Amino acid sequence: MASRVERVLFVDDEETVREALAQWLTLAGYAVSTFEAPEEALAEIDANVSGILVTDMRMPRMDGLTVLERALERDPELPVLLVTGHGDVPMAVEAMRRGAYDFIEKPFVPERLTDAIGRACEKRHLTLRLRRLHARTDSHAIESRLIGTSRAMETLRREVLDLAATPVNVVINGETGSGKELVAQCLHAFSLRRDGRFVPVNCGAIPDTMMESELFGYEAGAFTGALKRRIGKLEYAHRGTLFLDEIEAMPLSGQVKLLRVLQEHRVERLGANDSVVADLRTLCASKVDLREEAEAGRFRPDLYYRLDVASLRIPPLRERREDIPLLFEHFAAQAAEAHGRAMRPLSARHIRDLVEQPWPGNVRELRNAAERYAFGLDRLGAAPEPSEAGTQPLAVRVEAYERGLIQQALQQAQGNIAEAMRLLDLPRRTLNEKMQRYGLSRGDFTG
């Protein structure tokens, strides 16, 4: 009887074999999709596909080992079964070493195949169930890292969790100070590589002459001053995640060598004769449009297309002003707690000032201002001129003012909801809805 997984993807270049096996598996209770071209089957595979892959080993367009490799690139935990001829058994054993779930030798008894498929389907079901459980946990955990109640941040958190579940390379676009490295850390922390290293490299801070030794490492004696072997960042990120910040600053010569590593998954240290395995996921960040840089000849197009399998855009603060008070309080409270200071509450006027400031340095600038406020070093700066404030959407200013009033009431009531209801003349349900909308918790005002 078929497992709870609905689909079996079967690849074989012989039509009679496809028809016979599809008929047998359908009678056994499986939903079967057959493919003559491996590329069509691979296009059906992603991290959420509710099924397994069965492929013949010898096909004219693509052999089974290549199908296996490309399938596992899309989902490293996908069960892949190989159907092999007698002479292909050594190759099938090699496929098992590379991650295949099982292999079936021709000619085979149909029950042997359905038994293997049943076990593979059960494994897939358990894998997807665990991922759903992790996703529910991660959806709460990520809110404490990527803070904000705006629609833009809700979208970003969802996109981060979706991409974290896949093995693809990601380009992160965002202005200075918008939090590109934090997003990269989240992509790693909620991925299947979370137990591996997260290795950040700021390409803009490394001199061109040191880029290769920093990334690839070197053997003792590789050049003057190389007294002992040094492991490079690419090798150090094996089985983890490499984050290349300011990737646009990498010299073209370094881009050529990086592309080769990403294609072959192997690194050769400077001065070495042999290469070593580098199984890594690559994330990169840029303040500029890499596609435009590639078209202008300032960035290698082949590397761009290797890196930009998926992309994320981090919204600047000016596009999510409703998050500014929540972020400011979070950073100020962190700083105050770290240095044993009492957190001074924000007035409605302070909140209006925060929301209406331009913040060209984005979250980084806001965090610095919050820390200065926590230390009593300034009072948030002068408020903008009325003409400047008037350029902000009315809804943003009204929400900021309303949030400030609710916060003041909760502060005065020391977190007592009934007293806050009395001060604001609001019913409990309305107050609860507004507190949830503005990210306010009574626990922040008690004690």
Is the model more confident about 382 or about 274?
274
Contacting residues for 14 by C-beta, under 8 A, at least 6 apart: 56
Measure the CA–CA gap between 159 and 151, rounded to whole angstroms.
12
Is the model more confident about 349 or about 269?
269
Confidence of residue 308 (pLDDT cuts 50, 70, 90): very high
- CA nearest neighbour of 299 among 260, 263, 242, 255: 255
Q: In the structure encoding, which two tokens stand for residue 88, read together?
A: 């292909």
Q: Are 221 and 271 in contact (CB under 8 A)?
A: yes
Per-residue pLDDT averaged across 326-344, rounded?
A: 87
Report field, pTM of the whole predicted structure over 0.75: no
pLDDT tens per residue across span 336-371: 888 888 887 777 788 888 988 889 999 999 999 999
- CA nearest neighbour of 67 among 43, 51, 86, 93: 43
- CA nearest neighbour of 54 among 128, 126, 106: 106
Letter string b/e over residues 383-413, b meaning 16 or more CB atoms within 10 A of that residue's CB: ebeeeeeeebeeebbebbebbbebbbbbeeb
pLDDT of residue 139: 59
User: DSSP of 267-279, one letter per residue?
Assistant: E--BT-SS-EE--
What amino acid occupies position 417? I
Confidence of residue 439 (pLDDT cuts 50, 70, 90): confident
Confidence of residue 386 (pLDDT cuts 50, 70, 90): very low
Question: How many other CB atoms are there within 10 angstroms of residue 275's CB atom?
Answer: 16
Handedness of CA 60, 63, 68, 73 (dihedral sign): negative
Tell me the CA end-to-end span of the chain in Å, nearest whole number: 60
pLDDT tens per residue across span 133-154: 666 656 568 888 999 888 899 9
| Partners of 9 in the β-ladder | 33, 53
Measure the CA–CA gap between 154 and 160, rounded to whole angstroms.
10
Q: What is the mean pLDDT of the chain?
A: 86
Measure the CA–CA gap between 304 and 281, rounded to whole angstroms.
15
Q: How many residues does the chain have?
A: 447
Helix (H, G, I), strand (E, B) or coil at 6: coil
197 φ/ψ angles, rounded to the nearest 5 degrees? -80, 145
Per-residue pLDDT averaged across 203-230, rounded?
A: 89
Q: Which domains does the chain have, with CATH numbers?
A: 7-134 (3.40.50.2300), 145-315 (3.40.50.300), 318-445 (no CATH)
Question: How many other CB atoms are there within 10 angstroms of residue 283's CB atom?
Answer: 30
pLDDT of residue 244: 97
- CA nearest neighbour of 10 among 20, 109, 167, 46: 20
Burial of residue 117 (CB within 10 Å: 0-12, 13-18, 19+) is buried
Minimum mean pLDDT range among 36-50, 101-115, 236-250, 401-415: 401-415
